[in-house]
């Protein structure tokens, strides 16, 4: 899901966060989607998978 689509949905009235949080709203939505896609994995494992970057080939 493109970030611009999430930002548009979050920008709807009364949806945007009012305070600065550790995780921006779009990151929380991506995490929630990933948690739904991988229900058998624990939360930390899903978060690590979501934030993992691939290492460059040697």
pTM value?
0.69
Q: CA–CA separation, 24 vs 39, rounded Å? A: 22
Dist CA 12 CA 30 (whole Å) = 17
Q: List the pLDDT tens digit at each of the 58 positions of the chain.
A: 898 998 888 888 776 667 777 888 888 888 999 999 999 999 999 988 888 855 555 4
Burial of 47 (0-12, 13-18, 19+ CB in 10 A): middle
């Amino acid at each position: 899901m493109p970030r611009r689509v999430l930002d548009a949905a979050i920008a709807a009235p009364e949806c945007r966060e009012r305070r600065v949080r550790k995780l921006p709203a779009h990151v929380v939505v991506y995490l929630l989607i990933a948690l739904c896609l991988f229900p058998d994995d624990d939360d930390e494992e899903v978060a690590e998978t979501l934030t993992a970057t691939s290492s460059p080939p040697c």
